[in-house]
């Protein structure tokens, strides 16, 4: 039930994402993207729309990946020797992080070949930057 609710919330909060994608991903494209080697792969997975191949699996994967990255960042940022990259000032909802990534990625093609964790973190840091030390 919780997973279905998260999928519905994400789908409802991300209208028009399909229009951002140059081409609808085929099932083979999605399967390849699920290997998650680049930021482009993460974008492919996270930008799928209802009715596209492997939509539910991809949305769950996307939300799970974003959750893991944000939880890891929060854990590392607790170390007094580490500077946080993302400073939202509050706990972020998973869909906010995904929506920010989907808004950010098309205008940053220079990072599409970067590791997906880098693209996701850069997108979050662009929206929720930390104060300069």
**Residue 132 in domain:** no
Global model pTM greater than 0.85: no
**Residue 43 in domain:** yes
The number of residues in the chain equals 133
Residue environment code for 46-78, b if the CB has 16+ CB neighbours within 10 A, otherwise e: bbbbeebebbeebbbbbbebbeebbeebeeeee
Which band of pLDDT confidence, cut at 50, 70 and 90, is reported for residue 112?
A: very high
Q: Which domain range does residue 115 map to?
A: 2-127
- 64: Cβ–Cβ under 8 A, 6 or more apart, which residues? none
* Tens of pLDDT, residues 12-24: 444 444 434 434 6
**Residue 133 in domain:** no
How many domains does the chain contain in total? 1
């Amino acid at each position: 039930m919780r997973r279905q609710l998260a999928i519905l919330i994400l789908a409802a909060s991300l209208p028009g994402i399909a229009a951002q994608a140059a081409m609808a991903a085929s099932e083979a494209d999605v399967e390849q993207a699920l290997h998650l080697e680049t930021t482009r792969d993460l974008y492919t997975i996270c930008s799928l729309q209802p009715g596209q191949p492997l939509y539910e699996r991809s949305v769950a994967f996307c939300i799970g990946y974003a959750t893991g990255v944000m939880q890891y960042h929060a854990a590392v940022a607790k170390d007094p020797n580490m500077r946080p990259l993302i400073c939202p000032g509050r706990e972020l909802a998973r869909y906010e992080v995904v929506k920010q990534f989907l808004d950010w990625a098309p205008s940053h093609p220079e990072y599409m070949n970067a590791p997906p964790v880098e693209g996701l973190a850069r997108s979050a840091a662009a929206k929720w930057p930390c104060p300069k030390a």
